[in-house]
Chain A
Amino acid sequence: MSGQPKRLLRNLNAKIAALPMILTTLVVFVGGTVWTVVYSFTDSKLLPRLRWVGLDQYERLWSNSRWLISIENLLFYGVMSLVFTIGMGFLLAVLMDQKIRFEDTFRTIMLYPFALSFIVTGLVWQWILNPQFGVQEIVRSWGWESFNFDPLNNPDTVLYGLLIAGLWQGTGFVMCLMLAGLRGIDEDIWKAARVDGIPTWKTYLVVIVPMMRPVFITTLVIVAAGIIRLYDLVVAQTSGGPGGNASQVPAMYVYDYMFQAQNLGQGFAASTMMLVSVLIVLIPWAYLEFGGKRNG
């Protein structure tokens, strides 16, 4: 085993250069994560302290109606958002792939919302959906006096209001990923399918989509991770309202307990639950992407 020390010294410069980032990752990300998980088992209030209370924080978390609503909201928003961003993104990509003119222009327009922060998106859509300035007012000014469109102030529809803004922001990005995936498909596959007499829609569904599996998985992970940390859009659009918590999401719960209610232990417990949910998304993905070689 005389090769061991030599291997450590190989590419020494690169290793030294990578050291700060490795340390940052270890200390800030991994360290911070472990620290958070550890302190979620304590009764820390304003300041962290190591007084163990076991699973108390988790019990309190899961019996808090606000947390339960947050989870429910996130589930609803998440499923809808996943289905629609990926569905619409793919559809737009297919349309873009029809050798259209001005493709670059369309792509830029579609991708533009992605360049905006969620706060800006949230505010813009708050105004658009606002009954006094937005769509309702415009339609009424055209003469339809009884027109009602006020999704953000109705607890039953507020999530759709969030969804519109979220889709507007995220679909363009998904479209770009999908377009790259479509472009990566060998043109001969299309020719072969045409010679075989397979209709275009069926070729997409039965041949192309399965071939784009890696792209779909990557997109799924990126979109899902974005959904779980959903926060700023809600803050900018509804602040969790109406009715106090009709559009609450877990990230808001974490923030409020850590920095408003000064109950660190409870915030840590909630963020640990979020970490768990992220891992539930990530681990199967990592397994599919890097584990199963046979799917090459």
Chain B
Amino acid sequence: MTQSISVKDLTLNFGAVSVLQKMNLDVAEGEFIVLLGPSGCGKSTLLNCLAGLLDITDGQIWIKGKNVTWAEPSERGIGMVFQSYALYPQMTVRGNLSFGLKNARMPAAEIEKRVARAAEILQIGPLLDRKPGALSGGQRQRVAIGRALVRDVDVFLFDEPLSNLDAKLRSELRVEIKRLHERLKNTMVYVTHDQIEALTLADRIAVMKGGVIQQLADPQTIYNRPTNLFVAGFIGSPAMNMLPVKTIDNGRAFQFGSTRIDLAGYDGGAVLERDNAILGVRPEHITIRTEAVPGRTIPAEVEIDEHLGADSLLWLKAEGREMCVRIPVEGRLPSGSQVHLMLDMPKASLFDAKTEQRI
């Protein structure tokens, strides 16, 4: 597949502060990439660099086979959608969509055609003669997407486009963006701190922290095989259970408190014998047993049962550690119950406590 965006050794310093260090990122044509991370991780900064809104310190940015490192944003073949919509408030929706095109001296008929197409795709036809102030948040963001759409570009950049919307609208518009991508097959780079958005929208997710991409992979891999402790802890709600363990028996088992569990089926590298390791298991990868299975279950005591509607979350104490298990609603248990936890070892992740890397 051809590269749509190629970032080479991108470095960005603000004075003495290094924001991005030697970053490399290749985005294939038509790919939906989500940059995910906590605030201050550099994800929006990276997006602004791609857009040309920030001058980079070192490195190169290629879009569609052209070196655009020093090109103006308008010459890069990108469209951008902002968190605060950034519509021109005194212009009508039509004016907002056509302002950039008019400025580029495009023939009126072509502008008309493009605006009509964007309005049709985003279903904002009836709003064309209204001003942004008279629109709801969801409608405004649709118009903002339309403004990127009429530019007829190959690359769409989204800077937390749904963060200002309420939960219901957010999920609606999320689906709409997904649909838009299905229809247009454009390359999209999407910045968010919301893991649900990332997991649902992305072809690949780049989890970022401290200006460095921690892991770049498809959502399934990010979720099931996090490359380090940060990614493991950042993705998933409630968070992954992190158990301090000791691997024994030449890496064939681990010791958690006084319980010994077989590592059979663990999907990873050479476990070896490590005194300080961390076993990460997601709440849905643990099942509740009423009877112990030697070498496979951990005894635990139920503390709280949180009913979530579709399923429920069981908070337990095992070997003095807080743990969380997601169970079907039918399996609810009163607090104080003694149970045994069976870990789905092929889906667990083992990390070295010192390097924080997956083993």
Q: A residues within 8 Å of B by Cβ?
A: 186, 188-189, 191-199, 202, 206-207, 210-211, 294, 296
Quick check: B82 and A192 within 8 Å, CB to CB? yes
Decide: A186 near B90, CB < 8 A? Known: A195-B78, A196-B147, A202-B103. no
- Our pick among B89, B90, B100, B133 for the contact of A196 (Cβ within 8 Å) is B100
Q: How far is the CA of A194 from the CA of B53 in the complex (A)?
A: 8
Say if the beta carbon of B99 comes within 8 Å of chain A: yes
- Within the complex, the shortest CB–CB distance from B216 to chain A, in Å, comes to 25
Say if the beta carbon of B59 comes within 8 Å of chain A: no
Say if the beta carbon of B84 comes within 8 Å of chain A: yes
- Our pick among A186, A198, A199, A202 for the contact of B86 (Cβ within 8 Å) is A186
| Interface members, chain B 94-141 (any A CB < 8 Å) | 99-100, 103-104, 133
Can you list 17 A-B pairs, Cβ within 8 angstroms, ordered by A? A186-B84, A188-B85, A188-B86, A192-B87, A194-B72, A194-B73, A194-B74, A195-B51, A195-B73, A196-B74, A196-B103, A196-B151, A197-B74, A198-B99, A199-B103, A211-B89, A211-B90
Quick check: A197 and B51 within 8 Å, CB to CB? no
Contacts of A191 in B (CB 8 A): 48, 51, 53, 73, 80, 82, 86
Contacts of A210 in B (CB 8 A): 89-90
Quick check: B147 and A198 within 8 Å, CB to CB? no
Contacts of A193 in B (CB 8 A): 88
Contacts of A186 in B (CB 8 A): 84, 86
Say if the beta carbon of B83 comes within 8 Å of chain A: yes
Interface centre among A191, A194, A198, A207 (most CB of B within 10 A): A191
Closest to B85 in A: A188
Say if the beta carbon of B79 comes within 8 Å of chain A: yes
Interface centre among A186, A189, A196, A206 (most CB of B within 10 A): A196
Q: How far is the CA of A198 from the CA of B99 in the complex (A)?
A: 8
Contacts of A202 in B (CB 8 A): 103
Contacts of B88 in A (CB 8 A): 189, 192-193, 206-207
Contacts of B100 in A (CB 8 A): 195-198
Q: How far is the CA of A192 from the CA of B90 in the complex (A)?
A: 15
- Within the complex, the shortest CB–CB distance from B235 to chain A, in Å, comes to 28
Closest to A202 in B: B103
Contacts of A189 in B (CB 8 A): 86, 88
Closest to A208 in B: B88
Q: How far is the CA of A287 from the CA of B245 in the complex (A)?
A: 72
Closest to B89 in A: A211
| Interface members, chain B 51-86 (any A CB < 8 Å) | 51-53, 72-75, 78-80, 82-86
Closest to A191 in B: B53
- Within the complex, the shortest CB–CB distance from A200 to chain B, in Å, comes to 11
Contacts of B159 in A (CB 8 A): 188
Quick check: B103 and A198 within 8 Å, CB to CB? yes
- Within the complex, the shortest CB–CB distance from A216 to chain B, in Å, comes to 13
Quick check: B53 and A196 within 8 Å, CB to CB? no
Decide: A197 near B86, CB < 8 A? Known: A191-B51, A192-B80. no
Interface centre among B53, B75, B79 (most CB of A within 10 A): B53
Q: How far is the CA of A192 from the CA of B144 in the complex (A)?
A: 9
Q: Can you name 9 extra interface pairs (CB under 8 A) apart from A194-B73, A196-B103, A210-B90? A: A186-B84, A189-B86, A192-B147, A193-B88, A196-B99, A198-B99, A198-B103, A202-B103, A207-B88
Interface centre among A188, A192, A296 (most CB of B within 10 A): A192
- Within the complex, the shortest CB–CB distance from A187 to chain B, in Å, comes to 9
Contacts of B86 in A (CB 8 A): 186, 188-189, 191-192
Quick check: A197 and B84 within 8 Å, CB to CB? no
- Within the complex, the shortest CB–CB distance from A183 to chain B, in Å, comes to 15
Contacts of B48 in A (CB 8 A): 191
Contacts of A195 in B (CB 8 A): 51, 53, 73-74, 78-80, 100, 148
Contacts of A188 in B (CB 8 A): 82-86, 159
Q: How far is the CA of A236 from the CA of B51 in the complex (A)?
A: 57
Going nearest first, the 8 A-B pairs with the smallest beta carbon separation are A197-B74, A196-B100, A188-B86, A192-B86, A188-B82, A210-B90, A194-B73, A195-B73
- Within the complex, the shortest CB–CB distance from A281 to chain B, in Å, comes to 24
Q: How far is the CA of A186 from the CA of B88 in the complex (A)?
A: 11
- Within the complex, the shortest CB–CB distance from B165 to chain A, in Å, comes to 15
Contacts of B87 in A (CB 8 A): 192
Closest to B95 in A: A206
Closest to A210 in B: B90
- Within the complex, the shortest CB–CB distance from B340 to chain A, in Å, comes to 53
- Within the complex, the shortest CB–CB distance from A46 to chain B, in Å, comes to 56
Contact with A along B197-227 (1 / 0, CB 8 A): 0000000000000000000000000000000
- Within the complex, the shortest CB–CB distance from B163 to chain A, in Å, comes to 12
Q: How far is the CA of A191 from the CA of B53 in the complex (A)?
A: 7
Closest to A186 in B: B84
Q: How far is the CA of A10 from the CA of B191 in the complex (A)?
A: 50
Quick check: B82 and A197 within 8 Å, CB to CB? no
Contacts of B133 in A (CB 8 A): 294, 296
Q: How far is the CA of A186 from the CA of B90 in the complex (A)?
A: 14
Contacts of A206 in B (CB 8 A): 88, 99
- Within the complex, the shortest CB–CB distance from B74 to chain A, in Å, comes to 3
Q: How far is the CA of A198 from the CA of B95 in the complex (A)?
A: 13
